[in-house]
Structure 1
């Protein structure tokens, strides 16, 4: 699995700020609706439900919100850079400025976990995140995210 198989160029955005986690989830859901035809309200509710189990802020300014939806046929991603970091309740208490959201079918099982592991491994690399943070053009971000994955995932 590669990031290019779960992420479309139109699902990569830079946003100025989100006033809350719920507002960020609304932004993610709106992008999911435009890029993948997902129901935005269902997406927000699914993200909020998952987040109620525990924060998806994984540390170092990165969040991996994810949810399962019965209207999704395959794993789909949305990538955001936040120009103004947001308190996300992350494990290291650092605000989040990189969010990679995933939506998976209800019965995705292993595929959902593989996608989550891929994104987590990719964004664990600090030099890679620094490169992402230095770019605010969605097309450039998409290229960075999808290029030479064998090196990133090593």
Structure 2
């Protein structure tokens, strides 16, 4: 599995200001609806429901919200770079500014886990996050995300 399989260019956004975690989830749902033709309300509800199980802020300013969505047949993603970090109830209590949301079909098994592992492994790399934070242009962000795996594979 590769980022290029998970992410469309139109699913990469820079958000100037999200006032709260809930507002960010609305923004993610809006991007997912536009990029993948999903129901914005279903995506939002699925994300919020998943967050009740435990926060998906993984530390170092990174969050990996994820949910299952009935309309999907494959795992897809949304990448958001926040210009202003927000409180996300992350495990290290640090505000979040790098967000990669994953959406999987209701019956997804191992593919969902592989995608989550790929994203987690990539965003744990300090250099990758530094490059993402330094480039607030969606096209550049997409390139960074889709090229990083080629460097890792080498």
Is the TM value for this pair above 0.5? Answer: yes
CA distance in 1, matches of 2:80, 2:148: 20
What is residue 112 of structure 2 aligned with on the other side? 112
Q: Which runs of 5+ in 1 are unaligned?
A: none
TM-score w.r.t. length of structure 1: 0.97
CA offsets per residue over residues 71-105 of structure 1, 9 Å max, x none?
Answer: 11110100000001010000000000000000000
- The structure-2 alpha-carbon separation of the partners of 1:132 and 1:16, relative to structure 1 and needing over 3 Å to count, comes to same
CA distance in 2, matches of 1:39, 1:143: 27
CA distance in 2, matches of 1:98, 1:153: 23
RMSD, matched Cα: 1.1
CA distance in 2, matches of 1:39, 1:152: 34
Alignment of 1:131-142 (within 5 A): 131-142=131-142
Classify the secondary structure of the residue corresponding to 2:32.
helix
What is residue 44 of structure 1 aligned with on the other side? 44
TM-score w.r.t. length of structure 2: 0.97
What is residue 123 of structure 1 aligned with on the other side? 123
Runs of 4+ aligned structure 1 residues displaced above 4 Å come to none
Classify the secondary structure of the residue corresponding to 1:47.
helix
Report the count of equivalent residues.
Answer: 154
Structure richer in strand, relative to its length: 1
